[in-house]
Chain A
Amino acid sequence: DAKTTQPPSMDCAEGRAANLPCNHSTISGNEYVYWYRQIHSQGPQYIIHGLKNNETNEMASLIITEDRKSSTLILPHATLRDTAVYYCIVRLSSGNTPLVFGKGTRLSVIA
């Protein structure tokens, strides 16, 4: 079972920042937060991951609260092509534990 809670859907205006929240109140000290997205009919795509520090890459920023019980994925300037289902996943940093997908958040970017 997924260890995260996400809103089922969100809307965002094109060009604005999309802030996608995720609760993971039972996260343990050696578990990372991963974000993936799935654009319609495509395979899931890795976005970013982090342990406790905020992370940024060319796709997005990840803000993790100090107590690590929640995080926010930020798409700084959302485009129509960012419309997708976004999955927040908590996973051990090593070992055989696979990615376990929950229901995710369906983000609709609106022109």
Chain B
Amino acid sequence: DTAVSQTPKYLVTQMGNDKSIKCEQNLGHDTMYWYKQDSKKFLKIMFSYNNKELIINETVPNRFSPKSPDKAHLNLHINSLELGDSAVYFCASSLRGTGVNYGYTFGSGTRLTVV
């Protein structure tokens, strides 16, 4: 199936640990994103990569480090996890093409719980 897939779907970990979330899209899109949805259900952009190049880096602690090995993958590594990092993280992709912004396709989310 063509989609944006994230792994794992659920992640429970202790404070201070380091963890990674992986995202892959097979839609042929050239731009990928990470969004965070907190307990109040606000969706906030964290990062965006276009053809492996970081183009958006919102005010996010530097414990969060995105990595894009190719334009089909965008992983999120989080160091020294804190309780406040508990949230649902969504990966998304889109096709910027010749500059026109098309719709985003979102993954199903990774629910991170830090205990």
Contact = CB atoms under 8 A, between A and B. Distances in A.
A98 B33 contact: yes
Interface in B26-75: 33, 35, 41-45, 48, 50, 55-56
B103 A49 contact: yes
Residue with the highest number of chain A CB atoms closer than 10 Å, among B56, B96, B106 = B106
Interface string B76-104: 00000000000000101000100111011
A98 B56 contact: yes
B101 A97 contact: yes
Nearest to B105: A46
A97 B56 CA distance: 9
Contact of A43 (B41, B42, B109): B109
A52 to B, nearest CB: 16
Contact of A44 (B100, B101, B106): B106
A99 B34 CA distance: 11
B48 A96 contact: yes
Nearest to B55: A96
Given A43-B90, A92-B101, A103-B42, A98 B48 contact: yes
Contacts of B92: 43-44
Interface of A: 32, 34, 36, 38, 41-46, 49, 85, 91-101, 103
Given A46-B103, A101-B42, 9 more contacts: A32-B101, A38-B43, A41-B109, A44-B90, A96-B50, A98-B33, A98-B48, A101-B43, A101-B44
